[in-house]
Amino acid sequence: DTGVSQNPRHKITKRGQNVTFRCDPISEHNRLYWYRQTLGQGPEFLTYFQNEAQLEKSRLLSDRFSAERPKGSFSTLEIQRTEQGDSAMYLCASSNGDSPLHFGNGTRLTVT
Amino acid sequence: QKEVEQNSGPLSVPEGAIASLNCTYSDRGSQSFFWYRQYSGKSPELIMSIYSNGDKEDGRFTAQLNKASQYVSLLIRDSQPSDSATYLCAVLYNFNKFYFGSGTKLNVKP
């Protein structure tokens, strides 16, 4: 069990640029979740996959956000035309069935 | 939207005391309940899971669940300065959706 891996750890980008984050879940976990967390708040659900199928996407997520999980393995989260309000910690987590979530170290995004 | 409510704190306790953290949730259909600890700038790490009414103990931690009253609590005995962190309550709904509270910040004073 090597844990959930996220890359990069930090990303600084200018407003209007596109960014992509990667998450490698625990290998035997079939579910993968993306959350966003801002200072003083709990993780906010963005989307989740069961194997390669994206089963739910938060209504709070604008069309600038897209996520994929090809072949049910790693996942990517892309944000197009970044805005300053996108600055946050992006957390990936995986689980098996209804077992607890195991989080990666997160990607901290700063949009200048 | 499923609500998970926590007092944001900070909760300050002296070293060696018992820290009591509380959480309420809105949906009676919630099945599983979790406590996570989050240090500043780090990601959440799982401390406890609880699935049925009553108490569950693991070392210095005890989780308590009361589904009728829709609350979950976490007790930390013999609190240590290293326990100072934000504690997140999480609730699983519909076997696939995890909702989080905003967390309670705990300060343990030496």
Burial class for A74, CB neighbours closer than 10 Å (0-12, 13-18, 19+): middle
**A78/A57 Cα distance (integer angstroms):** 14
**A75/A34 Cα distance (integer angstroms):** 9
Whether residue A41 and residue B97 make contact (CB cut-off 8 A), yes or no, is no
Whether residue B46 and residue A48 make contact (CB cut-off 8 A), yes or no, is no
**A7/B83 Cα distance (integer angstroms):** 28
pLDDT by residue for chain A (112 residues), tens digit each?
Answer: 589 999 999 999 999 999 999 999 999 899 999 999 999 999 999 999 999 999 988 887 789 999 999 888 999 999 999 999 999 999 999 998 778 999 999 999 999 9
**B77/B65 Cα distance (integer angstroms):** 17
**B51/A44 Cα distance (integer angstroms):** 22
**B83/B109 Cα distance (integer angstroms):** 10
B31 contacts in A (CB within 8 Å)? 98
**B71/B73 Cα distance (integer angstroms):** 7
